[in-house]
């Protein structure tokens, strides 16, 4: 059975890059364009992992992480942050919100695959 990963990013090109990289690794990919869209779609896809950007309209990645951690069904779901942000303050804020890991864009498919394997054990 294929595992499902939800990608959350307001950039259509980044979602396409992620979709291609993840599908090539055998994952089923669900997509959302921001935190609000992700919360509306998440129950239908029931992902094993969420990969989210931080800077998005309507609801940013921090808000999404906090909202998911507040739902019992997703309290233990791994959440990777994939963003251009790299400040220690933002990393700490994401960790405090409940993020599992942090990857800086642009991502290398092999490093992304390695991070996914670590959190989906």
109-118 mean pLDDT: 91
Sign of CA dihedral 27, 30, 31, 35: negative
Give the global pTM.
0.95
Q: Write the CATH number for 105.
A: 3.40.50.2300
In angstroms, the CA 54 to CA 64 distance is 9
Residue 56: which domain range? 4-119
Please tell me the total count of domains within the chain: 1
Local confidence band at 2 (pLDDT 50, 70, 90 cut-offs)? confident
DSSP string covering 39-89: HHHHHHH--SEEEE-SS-SSS-HHHHHHHHHTSGGGTTS-EEEEES---HH
- Please write the tens of the pLDDT for every residue from 19-37: 999 999 999 999 999 999 9
């Amino acid at each position: 059975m294929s595992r499902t990963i939800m990608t959350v990013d307001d950039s259509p090109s980044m979602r396409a890059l992620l979709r291609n990289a993840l599908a090539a690794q055998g994952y089923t990919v669900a997509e959302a364009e921001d935190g609000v869209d992700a919360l509306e779609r998440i129950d239908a896809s029931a992902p094993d992992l969420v990969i989210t950007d931080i800077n998005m309209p309507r609801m940013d990645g921090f808000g999404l992480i906090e909202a998911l951690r507040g739902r019992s069904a997703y309290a233990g779901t791994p959440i990777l942050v994939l963003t251009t942000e790299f400040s220690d303050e933002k990393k700490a804020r994401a960790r405090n919100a409940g993020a599992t890991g942090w990857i800086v864009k642009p991502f290398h498919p092999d490093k992304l695959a390695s991070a996914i394997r670590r959190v989906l054990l």
